[in-house]
Amino acid sequence: MKTITASTSRPYDIVIGQGILGQCGDVIQSLFPGGETVIVTDDNVEPLYLDILKRTLEEAGIGCVAFIIPNGEESKSMDIVEELLEFLAKRNVTRTDFITALGGGVVGDLAGFAAAAYLRGIPYIQIPTTLLAAVDSSVGGKTGVNLKSGKNLAGAFHQPSLVWCDYDTHKTMDPERYSDGIAEAIKCAVLKGEDFFSLLETENLYKHVEEVIENCIRLKLRIVSEDEFDTGRRQFLNLGHTIGHAIEARSGYEIPHGHAVACGMVAIADIAATNGLADFDCRDRIANLLKRYGLPTELPYPIEELTPYIENDKKRFGSTLRLIIPENIGHCRMVPIPVEEISSFFHI
Ligand code: GLY
């Protein structure tokens, strides 16, 4: 078991280990003496892990009830947030109580957002049960839901009080969903540098899961501690995401996030090289590593079908997009591009 401390505005611990789900009760009790919790989980995770979690919480004297949502992105909605907020209110949840998110990114983002909103903020704990949530969404305090106009358009920065990551829970994941997490881990390796990247190139990721998760979390925490509220440096975590988000949207969210980010990373590395900002060797190494783990590397749509989504990205800065360009492994650069120059930058 390994503990890493996040030095954000409200510091918290991230505990990583194998088979540790059933041991979190006492740690949580010490954070919230006398507190009770509402566990938010989905109908995939509930039959697998809810009982284990409830048992350790109850043994530690923490009262708990579960709020179970249907699995899938559809649940990351204002309607479900409202249901959850009403559930909290009807149960007389107070500020000494807390929410526990048991699941993947949808559960964590939704539960964190409800925690940020209820009584103007109550604490919450992240227990990520997917690789993607372990290496990315459970850490850093971004919470939120989708609107009809787009993904993650309503949300809040709200740091968890604890992240408890038992990577044994990833064993029950569908391999395709697991590879979404691998894509984010490869993104972290491109940002972090040669040591981590060559570990993934030469070793078997599945045999080094704890090291992989730790590398991703340490990278993310370093960036988030410099820019918790995402006004600058944190945007480096969006490597591959500008084109990735466009792929997801163009596919009507049929193409999953990690697969879209994989294609987006190769595409931006290729565009960077074509513009003389990087060499093609970097693009090739990223593509080869993604292929090694069965991830896609070719754009599923012509780039001209993606640029309208990129130009309309609601998270741009005024009329400028900030593209993250991989110049080399461990060296990325932020390049601001006016929206009207996107097509020529992408060589259309
Ligand atoms: N997933 C990117 C971030 O947390 O900033």
Per residue in 53-98, pLDDT (tens digit) is 999 999 999 999 999 999 999 999 999 999 999 999 999 999 999 9
d(CA 163, CA 147): 26
**Under DSSP, is residue 3 helix (H, G, I), strand (E, B) or coil?**
strand
102 strand-pairing partners: 41, 127
Q: Which residues contact 88 (CB under 8 A, 6 or more apart)?
A: 38, 99, 114, 118
Quick: pLDDT tens for 127-141.
999 999 999 999 999
Residue 172 alpha carbon to ligand 1 centre in Å: 25
Helix, strand, or coil (residue 333): strand
Asked if residue 32 lies in contact with residue 12, where contact means CB atoms within 8 angstroms, the answer is no
| pLDDT tens, position by position, 152-184 | 999 999 999 999 999 999 999 999 999 999 999
The closest-lying atom of ligand 1 relative to the alpha carbon of residue 224 is 5
Domains of the chain: 2-172 (3.40.50.1970), 226-346 (1.20.1090.10)
Q: What is the pLDDT of residues 7-27, one digit of tens each?
A: 999 999 999 999 999 999 999
Mutate to test the pocket of ligand 1, among 109, 113, 137 (most ligand atoms within 8 A of CB): 137
Q: Which two tokens stand for residue 169?
A: 């829970």
User: What backbone phi and psi angles, to 5 degrees, belong to 330?
Assistant: 90, 0
Q: Tell me the average pLDDT of the chain.
A: 96
Residue 102 has pLDDT above 80, yes or no: yes
pLDDT score, position 305 = 95
CB distance 125 to 162 below 8 Å: yes
Which residue from 158, 220, 241 has its CB within 8 A of the most atoms of ligand 1, so it is best to mutate? Answer: 220
Is the pLDDT confidence value at 348 over 70?
no
pLDDT of res. 326 = 96
> Which of 249, 4, 274 lies closest to 151, judged by CA?
249
Please name the residues in contact with 65: beta carbons below 8 A apart, sequence gap of 6 or more: 38, 39, 91
In this predicted model, what pLDDT tens digit does every residue of 282-293 receive, in sequence order? 999 999 999 999
**Binning pLDDT at 50, 70 and 90, where does residue 347 land?**
confident
> In the numeric block, which tokens belong to residue 63?
């009262």
Tell me: the pLDDT tens digits for 219-257? 999 999 999 999 999 999 999 999 999 999 999 999 999
| Residue 252 CB coordination number (10 Å) | 7
